Structures are given as structure tokens and as C-alpha cells.
Structure 1
């Protein structure tokens, strides 16, 4: 049969040998595809022409066979295999032969078909028609007009584009079904299934393509799953050996993909090869820039891309970042071989890097705007491509400054969108390179220091700041000096040197004013200065400064820094004996931070919500929130930066909760909170689950805090740059 996919025994009620029709028995167990089978069955009920499309090896033929067996009409299911036919003029002849018709008259085959089908109710399955589209489309349109009892199920890598056609695109298997298929097929070989983690990784690396999984299972009689994984770098050599009853184009993965390649025009093959430079999704603008030129005009990319979409080489997806496109890794690997073969891989890699350096530069500039959410979604969608651009940028000695610039420009993603560890990885690579370009290296240094501070790793942060300042002074770079001083102030703040923090942050803000800098980082410096003032007991100053930051944020549509201003204001409200006001501010803060995937902002808000919750009278719920925060901290770094100032609200909340619950019940509630996933914990905190929202509890106000050790209040709010504060 056509595509090797999820196979199976004959469906109940389906045609058998000797029944009307020629649908062959399925050779082995049919695995999964229940939802797709139902969708195709409904489509066959609703439309007289249904076309199953998808890339080679995805399982189109097996699915079509199973659905056909379910829906066999009075005069049967008749399958026509067209893959081996090379001449479009013989399409009608092949269909006549498949239907078992004999006509020795002078009539044309088309007339024979019209006559035979006119009064019959049957399902005609045209499998593997993609290289004969025009001839098949003409035949199908003609027969559907003249034979009211005819239904056609077409199976190919593109649409027929006939009026009334209903398309059913078939995607690769989901992870669970792919693993189940591999386990079933592997069980037919001596080695059998292996470690579940390895089996899952193998299915993931094979894109969930049934043909690839079938071929990999065939290798398990000689290799372990681990060995197969090790050899997937050359998947086209490894994945061979389809059964003798399989079509030639499905006996190896290379020939299955090569079949699609042969159907492409030279321009389509060229774009296929060039698109292989992308990792994951890409958008049209990126494809036009990276792939245009040198034989393919940028203005023609859309038309050629549309042709690849029609042939299931590329798929279109709706994402939070808009319409994007992607190729399965297997198809991308095939294109990459061709790109290497024509000697164009290095040039395309540089063009790809240049596009994403430009994208990151634009996103950084646009971060301080109402488009922050869009920027976050865009970077999320393009992370695989940004990583590839970083790899290229940081391994080319002659152009390493571009990699340094890219690593530094993505500070808002590392710091503001929950990617501190990944940012640290790239930034450490960047600062080890002496590219001969001082400015991008200086930027990478202060961003590295920022990330390390937020992780609570002060020694490398201090080293990066010292080097940044030394080099900035030598280069007379006022921007780098301002950022180095700012981050030094953050470091002093989280290490409890509050007086030094205030001095450095004021100096940094003066430097920012001197160079006309106003962005999210500058606002974070103001918030951090507000924290320092609060830690010194000057709570009104802290409130005034954060209200001013909130006003600027609202004027510019800035949402991320605003969450940290809300955090400080919420703590101030709690200190003034207004837990209801504090909860309202923290709800806004937590919702905003979680929306950016800002782990630091989220966990700080959770910690403070726990304190507000125990003040409101629900010690049990406060303990749950503390447990949830405890689980999140390891993904950020050192809990509460190891700072006594930042830790005071946590200790106060714990002391009050233990006093109300007792140690055993407190620990049990903390464990319950630690079992919550991040999304679940945030949802629970936002709805105030279990909290008895009431007025100030006795002894709850921060300024009434001299009543004893168990009620000792912190002198001021712990706030900090979550992707950006306190650090």
C-alpha cells in the first residue's frame, strides 16, 4: 500500500476478499489515529470528494484504507494505485483496469468508466496521484458530474483542486500514539521495546512519522533504541529496509522523501533546500530575506512557498505570533543535504544569523512600548532560530561581535521572560570571546552580571561588573558605564548593602539622564532605588517613586517593569494595614508577571501574597502559597537572593502560619503547595483560594511591628527586578 502508517487488521464490517471491491487486507495491527479516522469518516459522509493530504510516510494510505472499509457503499470500495504510473495519458486505463472492466470495443476508457459508474454506488480511492494531478483532477471532475452514486477518496501529498473537494490534512502522530506504534512494531523484533525515555526521544526525533517509526522498529532486531538514536544523524542511511510488499518509494525514508522532491520544480527544490536553514517555525518575511536572491527573487518566495505548502513539504500554523511555517525535521534534513551539496550552506547560515540579529535588535527597541506582549510571543516563537543564530554568531571568529550583540540584545527575554539559565549559557560564551569590537562585548558583560545577580550568584556577577566598568572607562563609553553602575547597585541591594545600593542607583540614574536613556531598565533602576529607600525605612519615598514609575509605564504602555512597581506598592499597602489593597495590587502584579513567564516576578508576588493571606486570617492557605513558591525558586536561583531584607516577609509569614497551624500541619500544607504546578499555583493565588479576605488582622500592620519576635515586621518592602529588579 501507499504510505506505511498506523496499520491494522480488517475493520469490522469492511470488505473482505471475495466481496465487491478490491481493497486489500491490512497486513498488521492498526495503531491509534482514532480522532483522524472519525474526521475522515465524517468527511466521506458529507462530501463526494475527499482528499487526504500530508507529507510522505505520514500514514495517509493506511488511514484511507481503514476509513474506506468503514464506509463501504453498496458496490464496494475500489482502490487505484497510481504511484508507479509515469504517463498521465494512461490514468483512465489504470482506473478501468483497477475496476476489473473489460471492453474490447473502440470506446475510449473514459466512456467505459462513465457507462460503468452511471448507476453504481461505489467509493473510488485514488492513491498516490500527486505526480498526475492535472489528469486525475480532470477525470474526477468528469466522473463526479456524470455518476451521482460515486464518491472519491483521493490520497496524495497535495490537493486535486476540484470544485467541492474537502481536504483532510494528516499530521504526524502525537507523542503517545507514536510511542505506542513503536512499541507494537518493536515487539515484533527480537530486541523488543527498550527504555521508555529512549523510545519517546526516538519518536520525537523521527517527527512522529509512521514510516520512519516503522523503519526504526525494523532496526531494533540488531540495535538498541540508544544505538538507533546515536545513528539518527544520518537518518536516511539508517532508516531503510521496508518490507518487500511495500512500494519502492516506502522501503527507505530517503526514497519516501525523495519522491516528494522529484515532484518539485527547480525553484521549489531550491527553496526547500534554503528553508532547511531555519530551526522550528519561521515567518514569510524571514523566508523572503534569508532565501531570496541568487536564482530566486525575494518577490517570488511567496509563490514558491505556496507551492511547497500545497505539496505538504511545508505546513502552515497559526501561533500567538501570527501565521508561521515549518518543515518536519526529516524534510528539513533532506533539504539540508541538498544545501550542503550545492555549497550554499555557509552563506545561508550567515543570512539567517543576520536576519535574527536584526530581529532581536528591533525587539529590544520595541520592548519599551505597548507591544511588549507581542514581542514576548515573537521571541518565544523564534527561540529555535535565535539559538541557531547564536550558535553561528559565536563560532565565527571574524564576526563574533554579532553573536555578542545578539546575546546582549536578548536581555529582555533572558530576564523578563523566565530564561535566566539559558541567557547565562549564551552570555558566558559571548564574554569569553575577544571579538575586537568593544561595545557588544560590554553589553554582554553587563547583561551577564544582571542575570547572575538575579540567580543569586554574586561572585561571577561582581567579576563581570568590574571588567565591564574597567573596559567602559577605557573606551569612554557612557552607556556601558551607566549600566555597570546600575547593576552594581542591584548587587549591593540584594546583598543587603542598602546604603551603597542607594548611592550607586542614584548615580546610575543621573548617568541615564545624561545620555537621554529611558527604557524598561531605567524604570527598574528607579524601582530598585525605591526598594533601597524602603529598606531604609523611608516608605513614603518608595511609594512616591513607584507611583511615578507606574505613571510612566502607563504612558508608554510598558507592562513588565510595571509589575515590579505594583509589587512595592502592594508591600507598602500591607505595611499600612491594608491587606485588601495589597491583594488587589498583587493580583495585578502576579497576573502580569506570569503572563510574561517571568518566574522571578511571579515567585516574589507569591511570597508576598502568602504574607497578605496569613494577615487576612488564612494561615493554611498562606502555607500552601509558600510551598508553591518554594518549588519555583530553584528554577530562578538562590531563594530570595540570600538577602536578609528580602527574606524577612517569608520568615514573618512562616512564623505566623506555624503559630496558627502547629509545625506538623504547617509542613503538610507546604508540601501540598509544593505539589502544585506553576500554572495551577498562580491560578490558585489569583482566585484567593481558601483566603478569608477580611480587614487587617490583629498585629497585621507593618508599622505596628514591635510586638515581639513572632510579629516582627520588615522595615521595608522586598522588591526587585524579576526579570529585572533586585539585581
Structure 2
């Protein structure tokens, strides 16, 4: 006889149940099918009771146990106790009354992360929108969600009570605090949103770890300006709203709204709520875009600014941003106090810093252009402090979202930006050092604190000393005006230091003024270069002659040879008095360039010859090769092509092996021009083609070799090709407002006249019209022989046509996308383009934004697809040559 053992009672009627048979199996829960059906109805009922059964009366909804049932949970029985599970109380997060703008990628990424992680922490600076994003995310879930607001909780001891009150959990059965909460949540499939954890970070970390350990179906979403550092925690960095337009994907369609940056959309919608019918003019829209840019895309700051519409115009708001903290007030009365004005939001974070962190936080505000640990140490390290200690403090500020890492990454690094999907951005690097910055509203607050502390002037003194030491090595180079250095990276900091000196009636520090002038010169801003140097000559200092030589080069850029020669004469005289050979070579080089512009070729040759002799004696072969290249160009102007050819044969291998692409391109063009003068168009064409392949496709430097290939075509009898290339180059020059060297212009005019004379009028007009219709990429492809002419122009380059998506990329961004597809790292791309790896990383971030891509691999795949499947007949509207990249002087502008 098989023993029958009971395993409890029927969960519905209480009848004793037999245990499993000897063959095994689960114990029964119900005595009959009828009770099983009643159990089903009981589980399906809103309150968890079977209202059809006479033994179970309808509930009294006035009782708190039935006021807010958990309707999302299908089970209401504890499997271990056989008793009904008490419904989860508390309230769902209340939906905001205003619209939610953007953040679609962030929401999608959050949903994916929550599937694999149980603790998700949204971090970011105050006012970036962490709470709003968390609430929108909670509303998008198909789970029960409960919100616990912690901003008013003063201490960790009050944390369990605050959570219990929000959940409606009372103390029963001797349980209290976290124990009672864990017992109440044990069987619920719930997402708990803990908002504003930063001031209780340690307590929230312990509390979350305990709840997650005891409640297997619980998920926690925390918002905090500092990560909780709990094992298994996934950190999601909430970035600022994009301030540049993001083009829609193919599936989204060409919606005009999608093309509007999220920051601008937020401003417009909030302004329309404040002033119904608000519709900005074109000038007003431009002012709003600048407002969003000045506010770094910070949602809270943008909303506060938009609330001024009606009382102020966009232009007046933009002007008022000079005092951001006083303008950006009057937030929502129903929101947290820290969101009612911007300074309150930042002050909330500032009060949580220890004294050392507060000191670093306010002193860093003088570095408007960003900083690394070395810069922070120069400004903030006291006696006994090292860079390592300052770096620890800097990382603590970054963890508390009071400084942010600048976009970028190590060479070859890939990853999305925070504004796209919230993942931590790779740090901007220069020489392996991460670079940080303070967002504009936070920096304004820090500057106010710095002024209150009485440390403002001393901090600026430290900043000037650090910047001066940083740019000082350039003074010992032969041609510092042609060498990019740290001054390019520190451009904004140099400008801020000079502006501070001017605001206090002091002349700018000479090394800083010279360094910033070099940046202006290398980015084609000769007027700014001369204004900075000629108004501050730094008389009787080593910087006087260097400044005069640079001002002479800037005057050459402006086609002002008379002023250039006057300035260069003064530079040479000052360097001869000083007796510094490298400085004299630099000044002679500048004077020779001015003499070339004036047409004084023998005098220019004399200066270049002396320059080569000086540099040769210094034992600097690379500089000697560069001077020899300049001398060869001057000899060409004098008609001494054979001598120029001998010089180029000697210096070209050195220049192409050691120098940046811009110098390689200039040397290759000079060598090609020499070959033309020596009646060797085939070799000239090869050299021009090499130059065109060295230069980035969207670079200003491509104009001269493009025109060189047009001359070669005329020499070889390809007259239509010659006129097409001349016409395309002329369009590009007109848009750039650029003019060629006079001698080079005469050479082009001769070749163009030869080509025109060889063609009938109709063929001549057709060739020119065809060339004018070519886009920049089409013209380059045609010049290189990568495409053939077709009716109405050439086939569009796939990077500017495919899908209509890439048309918003600048020339530099398109070039970088192509180089990424070739497998180059950021450092290799920077070397190829003559820029820093951090600059490449910044451009790469913009490419990701515009294409909606997340990694280098996706960019490479997109480029490969675009090359093989271009959009037929698409005419790009991009004009990449409008934004010329950083450039060094070409031959004819020899510096």
C-alpha cells in the first residue's frame, strides 16, 4: 500500500491535500478543478480576491490596502506561504504637463540596459535633465514603477522612512526600515526610481544593494550627480541636448522637425508656452541658436531662458547671457527648488564638495577652453601638492558632474557621445592626457565663487604663467609661425587671458599675444593676427622681432606687400641687433615672401639664399629643405628653372618623408611647376596628382595641384578636360574669395587661352559650363581620373550623395569619415591632416551625430555602402570649401 502524505490545504477551500506519489511530482495546490478555476478568477481580479465566491465579500476601497492595487502583476499569491500577496501601494510617477523633447536614443538605450542590469544610475550635471529622462523612461515601461524623491531627505537615517512612505509600506510583523520594504517588494516586478541621490550617495548605495539582494524581481533606476559605486551598477551619462542639427535616418523621413536641433526645439516649445503664437524671425532664430550654443545645450538653462520670451526678445536674452546666473531664474513654482533658478541647481552640487574640491572647482573657471590635469595642477596645487593629488580631486569633480570630459578618445577609440545614447564618452586626449571642461552655466557660477573668494587675480596670474611656459618652446624653433603646437589646443584660454588683461587696463602678456596671433594666422585670419601684433609690439623684447615677422606674413596673406615689406624690414633689423641665428632666418624668410609679393625677385632670392646658409649652419636638415623649397620657388619666378629643379631634386625627398601633408603638397606642387617649365608635362602631371592625393579632399591646398593638372591637360592636348578643370577651380576660388599668386595666374591664363583657341565656340562653352556644374568632390575625382564626364556633370561622390544623409558634413568631416573607413586611428588621421588627435576626435563625434552612428565600424560600413550604392542623380548642396581647414602658408605665400 502506497503511503499518502498531506502537503497542506487547498488554497481556495482549505481541504487537506495528498502529497505526491512515490513516483515524484509537485504537491497539489487545489483539491479540484472548480477550486483551480476560482483561483484563476482570483488572480485576474483587480484586488486579488475572488469576488464571485460567497466566502469572499467585495473589498472596502476606503481601506488603504485596496486603494492602489498593483494591476501589472499577474500573481497575487506568495508561493512559499499560500496566502495572497499584499498589493503594492504608492503612486505611479505623475506625468509632466509639458512636452518631452528629444532623447529618443537615450530612452531606447535605457530600455536595452534595463533588460540586463538591475541597477541603472543616470548621472550628469545639475540641470541636464536626469530626473525628467528617468520619469519619461519609467512611463515607457510595462512594469509597475514607483518614484521616491530624495532631495528633501536630510540624512541617511531618514532614507528608509522616505522610501517606505513613498511606497505606502508600514511596519508589520516586527519589521522596520529596509527589512519592511524588502518584505513588501519581495514578489513584485517593480522599477523603483530613486531621484536625486548625490547628497546621500553612500547611504543610497548600501540601501540599493540590500534591496536588490533580497528582491530578485526589483529593478532600481537612480538619478545622481555622482555614481553610487554598487557592484553591478550600470552608469548612464546624460549629456546635453544637441545644438547642431541631426539629419533623420532613412526610416524617419525628411521631417523638418527632425532636422531641428533638440536644444532649439526645446527653446521654441517653451517659448510658445510662455508666449502663444511666438514665431521668431530669421534673425531671432539665429539668436536662439546662439543662446542654445552659449548654454551648452543644458535643458534647465534653455528652459529658463525661453521663459523670458514675451518680456525680452531673443537678441536681448542673448545679450543678457553675459550674466547667466541672474538672467536664468523664474523656474516652475511646482518643481524642486533647485530647478527654479540655475544658480540654485548648481549650488546644490557645490555644497556637497569638500573644501579642496571647492577650491579646484572655482579656480578652474578661468580656463574657458578646457584643461588637463597638468593645467589644473598649475592653477590649484599648493605647496606639497602634486599633479597626482590634483588629478584625484579633478576626477572627483568629474564624478560629481561638475566638470565633464571633452569629446574624443585615444587614437583608434570608438564609442558614442553622451548626447546620443548616454554611454560614458571617451576622454579627449592629447599625448595621452584626458581633457576636461566646465559647462558654460557651471563655469559662470564658479567664476562668481572665485570672485567671492578673493582669489581671482592670483588665479589669473597662475594661468598666465602656465600658458607662457606652455608656448615658450616655440620661441626656439626656426619657423615657429609654421609649426602647430599647444597654442592651437589652448586657443580659447589664450584669448581669455588676453581679454582679462585688457579688461583691467593691462597690455597682453607678449608670449600669449604672439601664440594667439600664430593660431589666427594658421587658421587664415590675417586681420586678427595683425590687430593683435601691431597694437602690442612688445618693444625691446625677443618677441618684438618674432611678432613683426608674423605680422609681415599676415600682410602677405592680405595681399598687402607694401605693409608686409615694411614690417619684415623691421623684423630683420631687430633680429640682427639681437644676434639670434634662428630668429634672423625666420625674419629673412618673411621678408623674402614680402619681396616675392612685390615682384622683387632678385632681392627675394638673396634673402632666401642667406636663410638657407644660416639654417644649414644650425644643423637642421628639415628646416634647410623647407628654405631650399622656398628658394626654388623664387628662382622659378626669375626664370631659372634648371637651378630650381636641382634644388627640388635635393629637398623633395626630405620634405615628403618628414613633413606634414601641407608641406608635402606645397613641395610637390613646386616640383611639378618646375617640370612644366622644363617642358616635362608628363612628370609634372604625376607630381600634381601625388599632391592632390596627399591633400585631404576638402582642403584649400587642393586648388593649386588641381589647376596644375588643368595646365598639364592643355600641354598634352586634352583641351576640354583643361577647361573643365579651370572652370571648377575658378568656382572654388570665387567661393573662397582666394586669388592665386600673380606668376601662377599668368601661367594658368596662358594655358587656358591655348585650350580655348583650340576649340570651337560651342565646345568651349560646353566644357566651361560642365566644369562649373561639378561639385568639389566631382572635380577632384575627375582630376584624378577616378570618374569620367557625363551629361550634366559627373557622378556625385558617394560620400556626399548616398541617402542624402552626408550632405551636412563639412569637408573636414567627410575626409575624416573616409580615413576612418581606411582603418586609420585618430592619431594617424591627425598626422595625415596636420591636426591633433583630439581635434580629429571632435570632428568624429560630429560625424556620428549627423549620421546617427555609434562606432568607427559603423562609419566604415556606411562609407563602404555609400561608395557602392550612391544615390543616383543626387546633387549635393554642401559647399565644403567654405570652411577651409587649418593651413600653413603655400609657396607664393612663403612664410
TM-score class, shorter: 0.7 to 0.9
In the other structure, the counterpart of 2:264 is 179
Report the CA distance shift for 1:293/1:658 in structure 2 as closer, same or farther (over 3 A): farther
Q: CA deviation at 1:225?
A: 0.7
Instruction: Give the Cα–Cα distance (whole angstroms) in 2 for the partners of residues 461 and 395 of structure 1.
Output: 30
Report the CA distance shift for 1:30/1:283 in structure 2 as closer, same or farther (over 3 A): same
Give CA deviations for 1:556-600 in whole Å, capped at 9, x if unaligned.
5565433322111122344556555434433443455549x974x
Report the CA distance shift for 1:463/1:271 in structure 2 as closer, same or farther (over 3 A): same
SS at 2:230's partner residue? coil
* Aligned residue among 169, 173, 184 for 2:237: 169
SS at 1:231's partner residue? helix
In the other structure, the counterpart of 1:4 is none
* Aligned residue among 620, 630, 650 for 2:733: 630
In the other structure, the counterpart of 1:548 is 650
Within 5 Å, give how 1:453-464 maps onto structure 2: 453-464=556-567
User: Which structure has the greater CA radius of gyration?
Assistant: 2
Report the CA distance shift for 1:684/1:376 in structure 2 as closer, same or farther (over 3 A): farther
Whether the 8 Å CA contact 1:531–1:542 is kept in 2: the answer is: yes
Residue 291 of structure 2 corresponds to residue 190 of structure 1: no
SS at 2:370's partner residue? coil
Whether the 8 Å CA contact 1:23–1:77 is kept in 2: the answer is: yes
* Aligned residue among 626, 635, 640 for 1:538: 640
Whether the 8 Å CA contact 2:724–2:772 is kept in 1: the answer is: no
Whether the 8 Å CA contact 1:394–1:429 is kept in 2: the answer is: no
Provide structure 1 residue ranges, at least 5 long, that are not aligned to the other structure: 1-12, 693-719
Report the CA distance shift for 1:288/1:30 in structure 2 as closer, same or farther (over 3 A): same
Report the CA distance shift for 1:98/1:396 in structure 2 as closer, same or farther (over 3 A): closer
**What is the TM-score of this pair, normalised by structure 2?**
0.68
In the other structure, the counterpart of 1:381 is 489
Give CA deviations for 1:203-235 in whole Å, capped at 9, x if unaligned.
111111111111111111211111111111111
Instruction: Give the Cα–Cα distance (whole angstroms) in 2 for the partners of residues 98 and 300 of structure 1.
Output: 41
Instruction: Give the Cα–Cα distance (whole angstroms) in 1 for the partners of residues 478 and 219 of structure 2.
Output: 54
In the other structure, the counterpart of 1:51 is 121
Q: CA deviation at 1:120?
A: 1.1
Q: How many residues align?
A: 663
In the other structure, the counterpart of 2:68 is none
Whether the 8 Å CA contact 1:448–1:464 is kept in 2: the answer is: yes
Report the CA distance shift for 1:414/1:429 in structure 2 as closer, same or farther (over 3 A): closer
In the other structure, the counterpart of 1:419 is 523
Instruction: Give the Cα–Cα distance (whole angstroms) in 1 for the partners of residues 326 and 543 of structure 2.
Output: 43
Whether the 8 Å CA contact 1:56–1:260 is kept in 2: the answer is: yes
Report the CA distance shift for 1:576/1:648 in structure 2 as closer, same or farther (over 3 A): same
In the other structure, the counterpart of 1:488 is 591
SS at 2:639's partner residue? coil
In the other structure, the counterpart of 1:231 is 320
Instruction: Give the Cα–Cα distance (whole angstroms) in 1 for the partners of residues 183 and 631 of structure 2.
Output: 88
Q: CA deviation at 1:436?
A: 4.5
Residue 138 of structure 2 corresponds to residue 68 of structure 1: yes
In the other structure, the counterpart of 1:648 is 746
In the other structure, the counterpart of 2:414 is none
Q: CA deviation at 1:253?
A: 0.5
Q: CA deviation at 1:474?
A: 5.0
Instruction: Give the Cα–Cα distance (whole angstroms) in 1 for the partners of residues 299 and 238 of structure 2.
Output: 11
In the other structure, the counterpart of 2:461 is 350
More deviation, 174-183/336-345:
336-345
Instruction: Give the Cα–Cα distance (whole angstroms) in 2 for the partners of residues 691 and 583 of structure 1.
Output: 18
Q: CA deviation at 1:681?
A: 7.2
Report the CA distance shift for 1:119/1:477 in structure 2 as closer, same or farther (over 3 A): closer
**What is the TM-score of this pair, normalised by structure 1?**
0.83
In the other structure, the counterpart of 1:40 is 110
Instruction: Give the Cα–Cα distance (whole angstroms) in 2 for the partners of residues 499 and 276 of structure 1.
Output: 53
Report the CA distance shift for 1:228/1:87 in structure 2 as closer, same or farther (over 3 A): same
Residue 427 of structure 2 corresponds to residue 327 of structure 1: no
* Aligned residue among 261, 264, 285 for 2:353: 264
Report the CA distance shift for 1:584/1:338 in structure 2 as closer, same or farther (over 3 A): farther
Point out the structure with the larger helix share: 1
In the other structure, the counterpart of 1:94 is 162
In the other structure, the counterpart of 1:23 is 93
Within 5 Å, give how 1:432-443 maps onto structure 2: 432-433=535-536, 435-443=538-546
In the other structure, the counterpart of 1:431 is 534
Q: CA deviation at 1:463?
A: 2.3
Q: CA deviation at 1:655?
A: 3.0
More deviation, 243-252/34-43:
34-43
Instruction: Give the Cα–Cα distance (whole angstroms) in 2 for the partners of residues 235 and 723 of structure 1.
Output: 47
In the other structure, the counterpart of 1:561 is 663
In the other structure, the counterpart of 2:10 is none
SS at 2:740's partner residue? helix
SS at 1:78's partner residue? strand
Instruction: Give the Cα–Cα distance (whole angstroms) in 2 for the partners of residues 520 and 414 of structure 1.
Output: 25
Whether the 8 Å CA contact 1:431–1:441 is kept in 2: the answer is: no
Instruction: Give the Cα–Cα distance (whole angstroms) in 2 for the partners of residues 186 and 14 of structure 1.
Output: 38
Give CA deviations for 1:585-627 in whole Å, capped at 9, x if unaligned.
33443455549x974x443333323334555632364145413
Give CA deviations for 1:99-148 in whole Å, capped at 9, x if unaligned.
12222554222111111111111100011011001111111111111111
SS at 1:103's partner residue? coil
Instruction: Give the Cα–Cα distance (whole angstroms) in 2 for the partners of residues 303 and 439 of structure 1.
Output: 39
In the other structure, the counterpart of 2:152 is 84
Instruction: Give the Cα–Cα distance (whole angstroms) in 2 for the partners of residues 178 and 723 of structure 1.
Output: 44
Give CA deviations for 1:138-193 in whole Å, capped at 9, x if unaligned.
11111111111111111111111111111110111001110111111111123724
Instruction: Give the Cα–Cα distance (whole angstroms) in 2 for the partners of residues 683 and 285 of structure 1.
Output: 43
Q: CA deviation at 1:345?
A: 1.6
Report the CA distance shift for 1:410/1:574 in structure 2 as closer, same or farther (over 3 A): farther
Report the CA distance shift for 1:684/1:201 in structure 2 as closer, same or farther (over 3 A): farther
In the other structure, the counterpart of 2:382 is 293
Within 5 Å, give how 1:590-609 maps onto structure 2: 590=692, 592=694, 594=696, 599=700, 601-609=701-709
Provide structure 2 residue ranges, at least 5 long, that are not aligned to the other structure: 1-70, 74-87, 244-260, 410-427, 790-887
Q: CA deviation at 1:290?
A: 2.5
Instruction: Give the Cα–Cα distance (whole angstroms) in 1 for the partners of residues 102 and 72 of structure 2.
Output: 18
Q: Aligned-pair RMSD on alpha carbons?
A: 3.3
Whether the 8 Å CA contact 1:399–1:435 is kept in 2: the answer is: no
Instruction: Give the Cα–Cα distance (whole angstroms) in 2 for the partners of residues 519 and 411 of structure 1.
Output: 27
In the other structure, the counterpart of 1:281 is 370
In the other structure, the counterpart of 2:298 is 209
Instruction: Give the Cα–Cα distance (whole angstroms) in 1 for the partners of residues 340 and 549 of structure 2.
Output: 55
Whether the 8 Å CA contact 1:512–1:522 is kept in 2: the answer is: yes
Whether the 8 Å CA contact 1:621–1:690 is kept in 2: the answer is: no
Whether the 8 Å CA contact 2:90–2:167 is kept in 1: the answer is: no
SS at 2:120's partner residue? strand
In the other structure, the counterpart of 2:611 is 508
Instruction: Give the Cα–Cα distance (whole angstroms) in 1 for the partners of residues 271 and 569 of structure 2.
Output: 58
Q: CA deviation at 1:314?
A: 1.2
In the other structure, the counterpart of 2:568 is 465
* Aligned residue among 177, 180, 187 for 1:119: 187
Instruction: Give the Cα–Cα distance (whole angstroms) in 2 for the partners of residues 429 and 668 of structure 1.
Output: 43
* Aligned residue among 221, 226, 236 for 1:158: 226
Instruction: Give the Cα–Cα distance (whole angstroms) in 2 for the partners of residues 670 and 724 of structure 1.
Output: 26
Instruction: Give the Cα–Cα distance (whole angstroms) in 1 for the partners of residues 504 and 653 of structure 2.
Output: 44
